[in-house]
């Protein structure tokens, strides 16, 4: 299955649900307490991370998408810690403060990456008036009409979730729910639910085989007036079920599992951001599956960024080198830059490859670790050079360039200049041969604005495609 990463910066997701703070105390445990047979942890490091619905919002922001979050918090420093953490990654917080209850906090004590104990500080919010949350939600929906995620940890913030779902439906929003408990009726009318297998079986009963799971899930989709259900199945991957459609199954991509904390948050966050950016349900599920495979290899609640997601996706797909599509090239460049490799880009018609071209491309490659050659399409060459050109069609020109040792990636563009392509790829260094000034080179302005560099290289004297063609015609 071919998957492409959507443009997450265009996505906008509203998260509503149970907000909490995850605290981690790390330290060595070299002795046993003389007071009781328990290890003594000498705390050396303290971490604080947004948890629950706040972790969903954090995961969305890590992908470069916009998100804002609505939830209930106490009037305490834990609430401020969550706000500060989310604000630092540009997540908008519209929390409702409840003075009678603390912000839900989970404290984990770890030694050598092993969790020794967890301490929870919480009081249910189920009796809190939901009107202020609904008012905040209405305001957010009217302003942006985003995809909405309801992140339910059964802490009371979503006690009136059915009313919230109906309001979101009236606004035309796509509604994703990470459910909790055995009462799925309260999520009626949502677009998609993402229960894990144990949550799903707690509602429909134990499923002895895949067919039983598919049939019961399809029935639940119909009964609850949903569009789809994504059942996450741990080491067995995840399965998307829709009424009257074949199940769409994805095997797990996790290589090694260290901690499943927050994996469900990542699944629904990647799912929501992908759908908001225009992905189909199938592609969004595949991306969510890849994201989950990344975060379970980390300790504690965590996020996945676009580079990690691209690595996970393309570990299952062939990218390699040579002739690439524009979308493949963008991801290949991101991965190369993430590895610290300097990416150089140049462009031209390269109609008849000659010694001057080869010398120029070798020099261009010496400026960095990777070289992209953008090639004019046949129509583009004809507009620039006139009838009778190109002599060689684009597929042959690109194949010859891809065979050169100096060239890593070759891509075609259809416009008269590669400005749009270069602005999308954003190499570290843009080079061009000839008598140009750097500011005259197409795409140079965008590269420089991104922190890159533009450089002019000289062609080898006495080499010209036009002169070669003229010589052939005269003989």
The whole-angstrom separation of Cα 285 and Cα 468 is 53
Q: How would you classify residue 182: left for phi > 0, otherwise alpha for psi between -120 and 50, otherwise beta?
A: alpha
The whole-angstrom separation of Cα 138 and Cα 278 is 23
User: 381-389: which pairs have CB atoms within 8 A and are 24 or more residues apart?
Assistant: 381/349, 381/351, 383/416, 384/349, 384/416, 385/349, 385/351, 389/349, 389/351
The whole-angstrom separation of Cα 185 and Cα 327 is 41
Return all residues near 117 (Cβ < 8 A) that are at least 6 apart: 108, 109
Q: Cβ–Cβ contacts within 10 Å for residue 377, how many?
A: 17
Helices and strands, counts by H and E, the chain? 16, 23
The whole-angstrom separation of Cα 177 and Cα 328 is 32
Residues classed as catalytic: 265
Contact 167, 148 (CB under 8 A): no
Burial state string for 38-55 with b = 16 or more CB within 10 A and e = fewer than 16 = eeebeeeeeebbbbbbbb
What is the SS3 assignment for 469?
A: helix
Helices 210-223, 197-204: axis angle to 10 degrees equals 70
């Amino acid at each position: 299955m071919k998957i492409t990463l959507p443009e997450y910066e265009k996505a906008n997701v509203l998260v509503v649900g149970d907000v909490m703070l995850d605290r981690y105390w790390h330290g060595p445990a070299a002795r046993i307490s003389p007071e009781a047979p328990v290890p003594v942890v000498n705390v050396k490091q303290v971490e604080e991370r947004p948890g629950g619905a706040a972790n969903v919002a954090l995961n969305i922001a890590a992908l470069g998408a916009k998100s804002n979050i609505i939830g209930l918090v106490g009037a305490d420093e834990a609430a401020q810690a969550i706000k500060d953490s989310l604000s630092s990654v540009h997540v908008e917080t519209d929390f409702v403060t409840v003075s009678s209850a603390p912000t839900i906090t989970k404290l984990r004590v770890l030694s050598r990456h092993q969790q020794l104990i967890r301490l929870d500080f919480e009081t249910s919010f189920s009796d809190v008036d939901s009107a202020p949350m609904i008012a905040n939600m209405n305001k957010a929906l009217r302003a942006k009409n985003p995809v909405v995620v309801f992140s339910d940890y059964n802490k009371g913030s979503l006690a009136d979730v059915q009313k919230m779902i109906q309001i979101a439906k009236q606004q035309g929003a796509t509604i994703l729910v990470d459910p909790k408990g055995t009462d799925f009726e309260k999520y009626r009318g949502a677009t998609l639910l993402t229960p894990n297998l144990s949550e799903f079986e707690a509602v429909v009963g134990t499923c002895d085989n895949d067919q039983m799971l598919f049939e019961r899930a399809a029935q639940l989709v119909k009964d609850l007036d949903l569009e789809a259900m994504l059942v996450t199945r741990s080491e067995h991957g995840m399965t998307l079920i829709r009424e009257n459609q074949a199940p769409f199954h994805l095997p797990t991509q996790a290589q090694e599992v260290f901690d499943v904390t927050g994996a469900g948050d990542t699944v629904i966050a990647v799912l929501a951001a992908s759908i908001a950016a225009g992905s189909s349900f199938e592609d969004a599920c595949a991306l969510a599956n890849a994201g989950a495979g990344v975060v379970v290899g980390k300790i504690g609640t965590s996020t996945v960024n676009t580079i990690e997601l691209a690595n996970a996706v393309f570990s299952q797909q062939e990218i390699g080198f040579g002739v690439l599509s524009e979308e493949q090239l963008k991801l290949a460049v991101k991965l190369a830059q993430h590895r610290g490799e300097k990416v150089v880009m140049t462009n031209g018609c390269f109609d008849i490859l000659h010694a001057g071209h080869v010398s120029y491309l070798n020099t261009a490659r010496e400026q960095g670790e990777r070289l992209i050659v953008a090639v004019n399409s046949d129509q583009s060459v004809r507009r620039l050079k006139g009838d009778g050109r190109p002599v060689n069609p684009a597929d042959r020109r690109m194949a010859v360039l891809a065979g050169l040792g100096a060239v890593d990636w070759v891509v075609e563009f259809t416009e008269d200049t590669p400005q749009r392509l270069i602005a999308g790829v954003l190499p570290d260094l843009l080079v061009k041969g000839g008598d140009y000034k750097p500011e005259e080179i197409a795409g140079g302005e965008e590269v420089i604005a991104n922190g890159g560099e533009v450089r002019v290289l000289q062609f080898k004297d006495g080499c010209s495609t036009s002169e070669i063609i003229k010589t052939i015609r005269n003989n």
